[in-house]
Structures are given as structure tokens and as C-alpha cells.
């Protein structure tokens, strides 16, 4: 496993989401709750890993977001992450974003729609089916 791939991996804590990566599907998954005490410390290595991922010659990344809650600091860093993915998409990389949410969580859906409107070029797919793992 590449060093940059190791940086993708995070076990969930009470306040931070899990982060996993599947090399065969080129899928990065963020799942759980996100309100780390230091969002920069949590998200910074992920941004660096995404940069290293593409610098290593990768051309495709699928991002799956399965957050059940995120605070305003995480919101800011999710915006930055999606902005970074737009940069790579504009360079010709294949980027797919799927944002999952509980079908009954209408507040989360509104948040996702806002992100979708902020990043139209990513064509964020919204999946309201019950979330698993």
C-alpha cells in the first residue's frame, strides 16, 4: 500500500468520521459524525493525500460521503475538499461524488443540496437510501 494511501485511513472516534479507501474501486469514503476538536488537524492530511494520490499518476477518484452529522468547521473543510476535487476535475481527472443520507434526515438533504449548488461541475449524486457501513 502506498504511503499516500495510508494517510487516507482513519478509524472513527466519538467526534471524527472514519476514512477508508478502496484501491480497486478508487473510492474514498468518509462516514459517521464529524466534529473533531481540530478540523485542520483531521482534514489536512486527507487534502495532502488527495494531492499525492493524483501526483502519483491516478486519474480517477470516487468520493462517498456518509456523514450523519457535521459541524460548521467540518462544513468548511468539506467545501475545501470539494473545491480541491473541482481543481483536479478541471485538469481532466475523473471525479465522482456520491453523498448518502438517511431518507428521513431532511436537514442533511438540504445541506447536501447546498453543496451540490456550490459545486455544480462535480454533479454530486444524492443517495437517500438507508446507509450501511
Q: What is the CATH number of the domain that holds 53?
A: 3.30.750
Domain extent at residue 81: 3-127
Q: Is the pLDDT of residue 133 over 60?
A: no
Residue 133 inside a domain? The answer is no
pTM of the model: 0.91
Number of domains in the chain: 1
13-38 pLDDT tens trace: 889 999 999 989 999 999 999 999 99
Let me know if 55 is exposed, middle or buried by CB neighbors in 10 A (0-12, 13-18, 19+): exposed
- Report the 10 Å Cβ neighbour count for 31: 19
Residue 53 inside a domain? The answer is yes
71: cell is: 459541524
Q: Is the pLDDT of residue 1 over 50?
A: no
Residue 132 inside a domain? The answer is no
- CA-CA distance, 92 to 114, in Å (whole number)? 25
59-70 pLDDT tens trace: 999 999 999 999
Amino acid at each position: 500500500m502506498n504511503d499516500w494511501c495510508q494517510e487516507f485511513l482513519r478509524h472513527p472516534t466519538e467526534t471524527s468520521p472514519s476514512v477508508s479507501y478502496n484501491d480497486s474501486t478508487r473510492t474514498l469514503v468518509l462516514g459517521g459524525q464529524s466534529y473533531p476538536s481540530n478540523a485542520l488537524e483531521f482534514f489536512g492530511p486527507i487534502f495532502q493525500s488527495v494531492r499525492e494520490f493524483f501526483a502519483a499518476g491516478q486519474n480517477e477518484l470516487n468520493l462517498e460521503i456518509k456523514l450523519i452529522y457535521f459541524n460548521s468547521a467540518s462544513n468548511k473543510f468539506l467545501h475545501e475538499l470539494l473545491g480541491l476535487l473541482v481543481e483536479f476535475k478541471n485538469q481532466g481527472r475523473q471525479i465522482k461524488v456520491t453523498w448518502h443520507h438517511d431518507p428521513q434526515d431532511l436537514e442533511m438533504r438540504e445541506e447536501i443540496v447546498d453543496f451540490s449548488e456550490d459545486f455544480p461541475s462535480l454533479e454530486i449524486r444524492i443517495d437517500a437510501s438507508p446507509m450501511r457501513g
